[in-house]
Amino acid sequence: MSTPDKTAWTTESEIRYIRTIGENIKDQFFERLSFAARRSFKKMMLKKYIAATELRKDWQQIDKGTVFRFATAELRALK
């Protein structure tokens, strides 16, 4: 996966992305959700991301193991 300007993603940029999963939605409905609902949404998105890591084939400069461990740690922290 690469950005539109063809710059290869790194492990650090993927971790930055994981940290913001479920937090970039800024519409009126999402703004009215409770903290618990937002947390639940983030957990769901992290689970989907982790499942997708098994299907992803092209990791380029990204360390799959590091990213997978970070994502699962983020998910555990939300429980």
> pLDDT tens for residues 19-53?
988 776 666 666 777 778 788 888 999 999 999 99
Helix segments in the chain, DSSP class H:
11-19, 28-31, 35-53, 64-78
Q: Could you tell me the pLDDT band of residue 79, with boundaries at 50, 70 and 90?
A: confident
Paired tokens of 71 = 């994502």
Task: Say if residue 78's pLDDT is above 60.
Answer: yes
Question: Would 57 be classed as within a structural domain?
Answer: yes
Q: Is residue 5 part of a domain?
A: no
Number of domains in the chain: 1
Tokens at 30, concatenated: 């999402």
Residue 6 lies in a domain: no
Residue 22: give the domain boundaries. 11-78
Of 25 and 17, more confident: 17
Its pTM stands at: 0.79
Give the residue among 23, 26, 69, 66 at the shortest CA–CA distance from 43. 23
Kindly state whether residue 51 falls inside one of the protein's structural domains.
yes
